[in-house]
Chains A and B, each alone.
Chain A
Amino acid sequence: NAGVTQTPKFRILKIGQSMTLQCAQDMNHNYMYWYRQDPGMGLKLIYYSVGAGITDKGEVPNGYNVSRSTTEYFPLRLELAAPSQTSVYFCASSYNPPGQPKNNEQFFGPGTRLTVL
């Protein structure tokens, strides 16, 4: 298993540009998450999904959008990039069987370092 993969590893954007951060997992996990990590701060949840077709906002969703058309993929879209979106972005996944206590042990991708200039 490749686990959780993310592309690209690095990207520089100009203000106002848009891009999609890709995330894929091959573990058949139902839950997927997007986090951002800023220097000196804990990871913050941007969006999450509990299954294909279901997404919800986390703590810091403004300026981002997500979709989950299949179990495997959970892309994060940045529209109109701003310097405040300079960060390291992590995708993660976990398996939570329906009707059972939440597991929430999360598996993380390698991260995407994004700079907006």
Chain B
Amino acid sequence: KNEVEQSPQNLTAQEGEFITINCSYSVGISALHWLQQHPGGGIVSLFMLSSGKKKHGRLIATINIQEKHSSLHITASHPRDSAVYICAVSHPLDFGNEKLTFGTGTRLTIIP
């Protein structure tokens, strides 16, 4: 069974700060996902990565397969970045299917 641990659980920062959210997992995976859950509850996929680094606007996601660790960074943070950020890992089910195991999320609050 794969366990996904995120840290910190809660993070409050001032607008403009550089934000880092961490994710560790316990067994081999095929991909790691970062998702954003808005205050209203909707969930949006931000990144899916299996190696290296991806960048989208002010968001950067990195993964280290050997260390079983990923980070999500937000540069020049803004109050609209306030949300819960969820890490999830893909690993195999039977018959070639895969499932996601989710972390419990990091609640980020950016203060103007």
**Interfacial residues, chain A to chain B (CB-CB below 8 A):** 40-45, 48, 50, 56, 58, 88, 90, 92, 102-108, 110-111, 113
Contact = CB atoms under 8 A, between A and B. Distances in A.
Given A42-B103, A43-B88, 13 more contacts: A42-B4, A42-B105, A44-B102, A56-B97, A102-B97, A103-B48, A104-B100, A105-B48, A106-B100, A110-B40, A110-B41, A111-B42, A111-B43
B45 A106 contact: yes
A40 B41 contact: no
A113 B99 CA distance: 23
A58 B104 contact: no
Contacts, number: 58
Contacts of A88: 41
B interface secondary structure, majority: strand
A82 to B, nearest CB: 23
A42 B48 contact: no
Interface in B39-54: 40-45, 48
Q: B interface, how many residues as a size bin?
A: 20 to 34
A11 to B, nearest CB: 14
A58 B94 CA distance: 11
A111 B41 contact: yes
Given A42-B101, A58-B99, A102 B41 contact: no
Contact of A102 (B98, B102, B105): B98
Contact of A42 (B44, B45, B86, B97): B86
A107 B45 contact: yes
Contact of B99 (A45, A110, A111): A45
A55 B64 CA distance: 34
Nearest to A92: B43
